[in-house]
Amino acid sequence: MTISESLKSSLLKYKENEPLAKHSTMRVGDKADFFVEIHFEEDLKSFLNLYKDYTDLPLLILGEGSNTLFSDGFRGIVLQMVNKGIEKIDEDNEFVTLKASAGQNWHEFVKYCVDNNLSGVENLAFIPGTIGAAPVQNIAAYGQVQEDAFLSLEAFEISSAEKRTFDEPECQFDYRSSIFKNELKDKYIISSVTYKLKKASEYIPETSYHSRYESLGGILEEVAQEPYTLKDIFHAVIEIRKRKLPQVKDYGTLGSFFVNHFITTEKLKELQDKFPDIQYYPVDKMQYPALEDQSLKDAEFVKIPVGWLLEELGWKGKMIGNVGTYEKHALCVITDGPATGQEVIDYMNKMKQSVFDATGIEITSEVNIV
Ligand SMILES: Cc1cc2nc3c(=O)[nH]c(=O)nc-3n(C[C@H](O)[C@H](O)[C@H](O)COP(=O)(O)OP(=O)(O)OC[C@H]3O[C@@H](n4cnc5c(N)ncnc54)[C@H](O)[C@@H]3O)c2cc1C
């Protein structure tokens, strides 16, 4: 039987020759040979049992495509997780444990938590994408990281169709990274994620949100009145994001296109000769255990905001055809009209080359390029 016949005889919802541009918030990409939607966990089991006979066909797992750039089409099967739901699985005086399905929209989950006065993910409001993708790159914003509230996740091994649970240490969370971006890349499909949220008091103490991200304080003053509630913080985060970042409804965008870069203090000194105002942040090594394995192991190092470097090099708001960077943020590559995946790749490569020529630094893309 061909894969086409197998899918036809299954109960799975699927399409052939599906345009990918509508499944990535970058709005580029050609067609996928097969595009299968997973609405229930049972669909995932059926699919994996069927896929055992077609493993020569490449498989790509997709959520809402807000961190995925399709450089072209996909000669294989795209499996989109659209299984939804949030379930309370435990509660005590202090905490509530919620299990959410992988295809559940992340922001709706955050809103659910805030509506129920549960704290732990409110600074991650308005990040596009699904629950299932959140642990993959350990999403973070405004001083909060999803691993702070993470308890465990369930995932199916692609080769065996067996389900297993991963606790926090097993996920090896790091800066914009986890085991699912490294050792277990393309080996597991996350079906649900469980978070432990703290019951919030009526008003949030200033020290609590300020210690997480200072600039929230300024925007809070504008959008709410003291003493602030969890909802006030949630709305302040949405407001700050609307002001600073390109919106999915207005542009093709994947948010930040590059990760911030770690350099040794020695390298920083070298760069300061050329860029006296270069921005940098001291780094607590304990927060980045994976970096200890790399060339920075024995050195002191700092984090430099790549957006600052790109702006300094003239990339902010620069368009080449319909591809460019956002006028308010050089780290955000956008499309503002019809474009191809290759045009985005070409633009990205030009940015990388310009940073390398000016600093010797090889910046790394944050997005998944397919
Ligand atoms: C405007 C904008 C702002 C953004 N701001 C932020 C931000 O502040 N902080 C931040 O961290 N990110 C940010 N992002 C990036 C993006 O929102 C996150 O990475 C998000 O988690 C991606 O979710 P998704 O469902 O769209 O993932 P997709 O793009 O569909 O997938 C991303 C990766 O995860 C894998 N994957 C997806 N689902 C599963 C699953 N169920 N099992 C296994 N693997 C899976 C995919 O194979 C792919 O490698 C932003 C993006 C945009 C467009």
The predicted-structure confidence for 296-334, as pLDDT tens digits, reads as follows 566 688 999 999 999 999 999 999 999 999 999 999 999
The predicted-structure confidence for 58-72, as pLDDT tens digits, reads as follows 999 999 999 999 999
- Tell me if 128 CB under 6 Å of ligand 1: yes
Average pLDDT, the chain: 93
To the question of pTM greater than 0.85 for the whole model, the response is: yes
pLDDT class for 294, splitting at 50, 70, 90?
low
Residue 212 has pLDDT above 80, yes or no: no
How remote is the CA of residue 57 from the centroid of ligand 1, in Å?
A: 23
Q: What is the per-residue pLDDT for 190?
A: 98
Q: Mind telling me the catalytic residues?
A: 176, 256, 366
Q: Highest mean pLDDT: which of 191-195, 197-201, 278-282, 290-294?
A: 191-195
pLDDT class for 209, splitting at 50, 70, 90?
confident
Q: Which ligand 1 atom is at minimum distance from the Cα of 103? A: 41
Q: Are residues 69 and 95 in the same domain?
A: no
In a domain, residue 6? The reply is no
Q: Across residues 246-271, what is the average pLDDT? A: 94
- Tell me if 127 CB under 6 Å of ligand 1: yes
How remote is the CA of residue 308 from the centroid of ligand 1, in Å?
A: 23
Hey, what are 202's tokens?
């009526």
Q: Are residues 225 and 295 in the same domain?
A: no
Q: What is the per-residue pLDDT for 296?
A: 59
Q: What residue spans of the chain are helical by DSSP H?
A: 3-9, 41-51, 106-115, 168-171, 206-212, 215-223, 230-244, 265-274, 306-312, 341-359
Q: Across residues 198-218, what is the average pLDDT? A: 79
Residue 143 has pLDDT above 90, yes or no: no
DSSP state of 289: G
Question: Hey, is 114 helix, strand or coil?
Answer: helix
Q: Across residues 2-13, what is the average pLDDT? A: 95
Q: Return the closest-CA partner of residue 342 out of 26, 128, 78.
A: 26
Q: What is the per-residue pLDDT for 301?
A: 85
State the number of CA atoms in the 13 A half-sphere of 330 facing the CB: 17
Q: Residues with Cβ < 8 Å from 279, sequence gap 6 or more?
A: 304, 305, 308
Q: Across residues 92-103, what is the average pLDDT? A: 97
Q: Are residues 96 and 216 in the same domain?
A: yes
Q: Are residues 163 and 34 in the same domain?
A: no
Question: Which residues form the domain of 73?
Answer: 11-81
Domain boundary among 48, 81, 114: 81
In a domain, residue 330? The reply is yes
